[in-house]
Amino acid sequence: MPKLADILVNDIKGKAFPLGREIDGKVVLFVNVASKCGFTSQYDGLEALYKRYKDQGLLIIGVPTNQFYQEPTDGDSCRLRFGVSFPILEKMNVNGNDAHPLYRHLKSEKPHLLIGGGVIWNFEKFMVNRKGQVVDRFISLYSPEVLEVYVKKELGVSKSSSLVADVLHVIYPLLAPVFFGVISLLETVQGHDYVKKFMQ
């Protein structure tokens, strides 16, 4: 499997995005996004996080996907509708046999506890350190406000962490199988092949 920096990706306009150069020496959050998801309220928090820490080395990269049936457009609506200034990549698949190499890499480096690598839902986040290593993963329920503690710690801005964030970091991964179970049920009822793609 190629190194993260060597993976070829395009930006939202379909032009080559220099991933290796852009992430070099930075702390990166990859977030699979959509414009019609119930978690779109996180856009504001992600944008605030990006503006607050980008000069200290934070990069947020949005990755539109329609695998959860909530991004039917070309993906540019994520940027236009929600006014984010961080980079948005071309729409891609994050699960299944046709998952983009970017997400194959991220998932293999940091699988979920008990249920494996699949992305459960929109607004799941992968954190990459300054060396290009995938060091953490956060399910959709992690708000940008909670994420800030982990971002600051990885950036070296703060070595301390809050008790609430530490507790959530233990609880949320344990909730991932439950979250997956609920989403699987809802998607199966709607006739979607969610589970099959998740497991591939």
Catalytic residue numbers read 37
Alpha carbon of 166 to those of 17, 85, 133, 147, 172: distances in Å?
35, 29, 21, 11, 10
91 alpha-carbon distance from chain centroid: 13
Whole-angstrom Cα Rg for the chain: 16
Burial of 15 from C-beta contacts in 10 A (0-12 / 13-18 / 19+): exposed
CB atoms within 10 A of CB 116: 11
Coarse DSSP helix, strand, coil percentages of the chain, rounded to the nearest 5 percent:
40, 15, 40
